[in-house]
């Protein structure tokens, strides 16, 4: 560490005033960490008017190693001129300092500790952004993979349950048990959907929405979610541009935020939901995110609850992190909201002061479409499927045997002729028989060896008019975007019910 000659010679305290003009922040420390002297830049970095009575460990905190241990080693001449990154305790926002400790000798043979400080906030912010991105990506990949496997299991469970329901009337003793299995399979599917939402690999059904209408439709349900002690207030911008999003998923985000706001106010209070248009003339940098310029619609959900400490604000969107007591929260609500909003092209931010409540702000890009395209979500209610007879030949390609067995049996009950294959290669081999007539391909997307789109494109060379249904436990973007889209194809996400499968097949056959 470079220091001026006068400092290396350890001048007395009266001469330290000259260092106020140095372009570097300098502290003189006692062995126990007490700040004996400081210059102007050091006080500015520490956000202090005076350092009298303060210690280094009192104003800064270590990110790993205790500061007291570091000071003790430095006093013994160990690990000198090695930098440590420390966090400022008193700042309202995160401030990081890079601190180097040196030891100088006085004419009397004593040793003095000197600390040189540099502002490392931007560096640590970039580092944290990178680490957070890597962590979220890794967890997202794990969640997506787990969700894919669970979707295959749930498709088989709910599908075979639907087949059993066909053989039982409501008066049967087993009927209520089958309904319970079906309902719990749907609940499990919703939980898997949360994992996919966080990993941003769920299948969205976007449509053009006016958020005022969406909230109006949702108000009755939201009022049921809050207690009698809580007042729910809605406020809308009179001129609000539409957005393009999945209505059901956006409603889930709003319900999660309202439930969190309710839980933060056990003694009651007000939850406000406000919508307004917002135009950004230049990019907005906030919370390690960059919002590009443009027109947005913002939704603010605010409460008067207990608030969230500032050191926990950056963690609330992480999966399985919760500020609630054990058993009161899964830690998936806000991470699900984060995933849905990000996958919709938007941003979500949080502001909070302990004791004053929290405010969640959602920014969604505005959409200037004239004709909204609406895709009805798949019904989640349990109903006894009705089977009508139909005709046609279906080539079913699915590597998961339980899923293939359910789909095959369901299609045969409908009257279709079903040819089964466990791989894409097996499907191509079957289609080499020119005498084999096939009306429809139903194929999983991700399979060992040749994937769904690959074998379908190859088969289409000889059978260009055959229609296709792709099924997958991943989102629709699991299809290869780099290749030309498969024409006359539709996508059916897992888990799907018997009715979902039959309706989709009938739609492609017609």
pLDDT band at 327 (very low <50, low <70, confident <90, very high): very low
pLDDT at 32: 81
pLDDT at 55: 87
Helix (H, G, I), strand (E, B) or coil at 323: coil
pLDDT tens digits for 144-184?
667 777 888 888 888 888 888 888 888 888 888 888 888 88
Who's near 439: CB < 8 A, 6+ residues apart?
392, 393, 394, 466, 467, 509
Is the pLDDT assigned to residue 22 strictly greater than 80?
A: no
Residues paired with 351 in a beta bridge: 359
Q: Are 478 and 472 in contact (CB under 8 A)?
A: yes
Is the pLDDT assigned to residue 428 strictly greater than 60?
A: yes
pLDDT tens digits for 464-493?
889 999 998 766 555 555 456 788 888 888
> Which of 170-179, 269-278, 317-326 is the most confident on average?
269-278
pLDDT band at 204 (very low <50, low <70, confident <90, very high): low
pLDDT tens digits for 332-383?
567 778 878 887 889 999 898 888 889 999 999 988 633 333 333 333 444 4
Is the pLDDT assigned to residue 269 strictly greater than 70?
A: yes
Is the pLDDT assigned to residue 256 strictly greater than 80?
A: yes
Q: 19-28, 107-116, 198-207: lowest mean pLDDT where? A: 198-207
For the chain, what are the domain ranges?
5-119, 125-199, 208-365, 393-509
Q: Are 414 and 388 in contact (CB under 8 A)?
A: yes
CA dist., res. 136 & res. 168, Å (int):
46
Q: 267-276, 292-301, 401-410, 468-477: lowest mean pLDDT where? A: 468-477
The distance in angstroms from the start CA to the end CA of the chain is 79
The verdict on pTM exceeding 0.75 is: no
Helix (H, G, I), strand (E, B) or coil at 275: strand
CATH annotation of 5-119: 3.30.450.20
Mean pLDDT of all residues in the chain? Answer: 79
Are domains 5-119 and 393-509 of this chain identical in fold? no
Q: What is the 3-state secondary structure (H, E, C) of 84-137?
A: EEEEECCCCCCCEEEEEEEEEECCCCCEEEEEEEEECHHHHHHHHHHHHHHHHH
* pLDDT mean over 289-316: 85
CA dist., res. 300 & res. 360, Å (int):
6
DSSP 245-264: EEHHHHHHHHHHHHHHHHHT
Query: Which CATH number among 3.40.50.720, 3.30.565.10, 3.40.605.10, 3.40.190.10 corresponds to the domain 208-365?
Result: 3.30.565.10
pLDDT band at 273 (very low <50, low <70, confident <90, very high): very high
CA dist., res. 466 & res. 438, Å (int):
7
* pLDDT mean over 423-440: 91
Cis upstream peptide for 495 (omega within 30°):
yes
The residue among 412, 481, 416 whose CA lies nearest residue 445 is: 481
pLDDT at 362: 93
The pair of structure tokens assigned to 500 is 């979902």
pLDDT band at 189 (very low <50, low <70, confident <90, very high): confident
| Cα atoms in the Cβ-side hemisphere of radius 13 Å centred on 1 | 23
Q: Alpha helices of 323-400 — where are they, by DSSP H?
A: 333-343
Q: Are 302 and 357 in contact (CB under 8 A)?
A: yes
DSSP 125-188: HHHHHHHHHHHHHHHHHHHHHHHHHHHHHHHHHHHHHHHHHHT--TTSTTHHHHHHHHHHHHHH
Compute the C-alpha angle 106/111/113, nearest 5°: 115
pLDDT at 418: 93
Residues paired with 245 in a beta bridge: 207
The residue among 358, 334, 346, 347 whose CA lies nearest residue 288 is: 347
Sign of CA dihedral 456, 459, 460, 461: positive
Q: Is 441 left (phi over 0), alpha (psi -120 to 50) or beta?
A: beta
CB count in 10 Å sphere of residue 231 = 13
Q: Per CATH, the architecture of 125-199 is what?
A: Orthogonal Bundle (1.10)
Q: What is the DSSP letter of 312?
A: G
pLDDT tens digits for 96-141?
888 888 877 766 667 778 888 888 887 877 776 666 666 666 666 6
CATH topology of domain 393-509: Rossmann fold (3.40.50)
């Amino acid at each position: 560490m470079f220091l001026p000659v006068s400092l290396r010679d350890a001048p007395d305290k009266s001469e330290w005033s000259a260092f106020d003009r140095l372009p570097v922040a300098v502290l003189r420390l006692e062995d126990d960490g007490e700040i004996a002297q400081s210059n102007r830049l050091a006080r500015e970095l520490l956000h202090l008017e005076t350092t009298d009575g303060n210690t280094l460990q009192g104003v800064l905190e270590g990110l790993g190693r205790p500061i007291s241990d570091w000071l003790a080693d430095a006093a013994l001449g160990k690990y000198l001129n090695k930098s440590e990154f420390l966090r400022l305790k008193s700042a309202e926002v995160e401030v990081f300092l890079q601190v180097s400790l040196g030891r100088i000798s006085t004419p009397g043979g004593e040793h003095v500790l000197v600390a040189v400080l540099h502002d490392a906030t931007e560096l640590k912010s970039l580092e944290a952004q990178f680490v957070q991105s890597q962590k979220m990506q890794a967890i997202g990949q794990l969640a997506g993979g787990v969700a894919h496997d669970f979707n295959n299991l749930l498709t088989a469970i709910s599908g075979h349950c639907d087949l059993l329901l066909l053989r039982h009337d409501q008066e049967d003793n087993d009927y209520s048990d089958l309904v319970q299995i079906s309902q719990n399979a749907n609940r499990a599917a919703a939980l898997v959907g949360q994992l996919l939402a966080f990993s941003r690999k769920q299948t969205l059904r976007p449509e053009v929405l006016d958020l005022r209408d969406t909230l109006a439709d949702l108000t009755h349900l939201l009022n049921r979610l809050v207690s009698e002690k809580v007042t729910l207030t809605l406020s809308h911008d009179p001129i609000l541009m539409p957005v393009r999003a999945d209505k059901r998923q956006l409603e889930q985000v709003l319900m999660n935020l309202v439930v969190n706001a309710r839980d933060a106010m056990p003694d009651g209070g007000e939850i406000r939901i406000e919508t307004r248009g917002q135009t950004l003339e230049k990019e907005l940098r906030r919370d390690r995110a960059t919002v590009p310029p443009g027109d947005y619609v913002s939704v603010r959900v605010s409460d008067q609850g207990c608030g969230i400490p500032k050191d926990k604000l950056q963690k609330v969107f992480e999966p399985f992190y919760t500020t609630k007591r054990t058993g009161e929260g899964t830690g998936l609500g806000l991470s699900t909201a984060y995933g849905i909003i990000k996958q919709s092209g938007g941003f979500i931010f949080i502001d909070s002061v302990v004791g004053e409540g929290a405010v969640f702000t959602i920014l969604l890009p505005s959409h200037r479409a004239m004709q909204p395209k609406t895709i009805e979500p798949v019904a989640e209610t349990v109903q006894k499927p009705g089977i009508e007879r139909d005709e046609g030949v279906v080539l079913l390609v699915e590597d998961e045997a339980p899923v293939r067995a359910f789909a095959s049996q369901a299609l045969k009950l409908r009257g279709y002729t079903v040819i089964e294959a466990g791989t894409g290669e097996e499907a191509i081999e079957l289609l080499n028989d020119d005498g084999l007539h096939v009306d429809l391909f139903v194929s999983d997307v991700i399979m060992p060896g040749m994937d769904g789109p690959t074998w379908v494109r190859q088969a289409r060379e000889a059978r260009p008019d055959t229609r296709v249904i792709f099924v997958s436990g991943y989102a629709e973007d699991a299809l290869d975007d780099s290749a030309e889209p498969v024409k006359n194809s539709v996508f059916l996400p897992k888990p799907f019910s018997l009715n979902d499968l039959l309706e989709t097949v009938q739609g492609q056959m017609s």
